[in-house]
Structures are given as C-alpha cells and as structure tokens.
A and B are shown apart, each in its own frame.
Chain A
C-alpha cells in the first residue's frame, strides 16, 4: 500500500527558531515531492516541491530529499506566528499527471510568539 507518513504533532517552536517537519514514504519509485501548507478552514497551498536528492531553498523554506532513505523534510527558518498551520507532505508515486498525489496526514505547527 502506498503510504506517506508524518508526525501529527503539534510541533511547537518559539518565534525565530527553526521548525523541522519530516515525512517518509513507502514507494521507492516515487519521483516528486511536495509540501503544502493548510490554514484552518482553507484549502492547501503549495509551498515547495523537490525532485532531486539534496536541498532546495526558497526564502525561509528549505526542502530536503533523500531518496535512498525515502525521506523528505521541510525546514522553516526564522519561524513566525503566521507560519502556524498544518503542513502536508505529498508524493507523486507514479510519473503521471492523471493520478492523485498521495498525502500524509499533516503535521500541525504552532509558532509561539
């Protein structure tokens, strides 16, 4: 069964700290990986995607991918209270645009001012 696992949290970090969100996936053949942020009562919005092993940085966000370990993470530097949300990891387990991404259950992040 294709699975994406995330710690549900809540993960609490003080304002200004680094928040580290982790995700593992079951299908070794997975090609692309996405991080979405979802505020309460809103639909998910894309933060970052990553296809290759290593790090990818975009502003305060860094996605890290290790395909050998089947592990992807998201680092949020200088965390702000506005970053408080649920973060969803999603994996494309088939190299097709017509299949749904497989989502983890999300990690709830709380940034304390």
Chain B
C-alpha cells in the first residue's frame, strides 16, 4: 500500500521559535495532503488541506499566518509552526490520498511537538 512518511517524529523547541514538519508521499503523487492536530485524548482535528502548487485551504479557527503550509511538489508538503507557544504543543499528523484510487487516507507517523 501507499506510504506517507513524516519527519521529525518528535521535536522540542523553545517558545517563540519556528518548527518545520515534513510530509512525503513515497510511492504516489499526492496533489493534496491533509494536516491534522490531535491533543491528548481528543479526536483528530483537520487543520488544513494542502494543495500542490496553490494555497492551502484552512479550516475555520486555524490561523494561516501561524501554521504555514507549503506544497511545492507532488510528493512533499511542509507545515511550519511559527512563533510557537506552549499551547501549540500537540501531535501533528499528515495524511494523503492517492487521487487515482479514491481509497483510504494514508497517515504519516505523526510529530509530537513540545514547546517549552
């Protein structure tokens, strides 16, 4: 099956710094990728839909200037958390669907972000 690779798996950063998370589709071209955030014991929350070559579509309540998404190629989307604060500490997960298959979403391994 299709594989989505996410990096890093865990990151600790200081308040005020920025963190970049990468999401790669390894064996298919993902014109669209999705970014989720999950707080402990909470459900997945869709943050944004990342579109290759165009602007991301953000869900209501998600600050686009804080969570910068770049989808410069068909296999790579990046999420940058800018000026991170402790309340941004969360589990960030990307996913992608193979547009030719209309099948399930494949998830990256997730990134545990801790802002201190």
Interface of A toward B, CB cutoff 8 Å? 31-32, 34, 41-46, 49, 88, 90, 92, 95-101, 103-106
Contacts and interface: CB of A to CB of B under 8 A. Distances in A.
Interface in B83-110: 91, 93, 95, 97-110
B97 A44 contact: no
A42 B101 CA distance: 25
Interface of B: 1, 6, 31-32, 34, 43-44, 46, 49, 91, 93, 95, 97-110, 112
Contacts of A101: 97, 104-105
A88 B112 contact: no
B84 to A, nearest CB: 20
A105 to B, nearest CB: 4
B99 A43 contact: no
| A49, A96, A98, A105 — most chain B CB neighbours (10 Å) | A98
B54 to A, nearest CB: 12
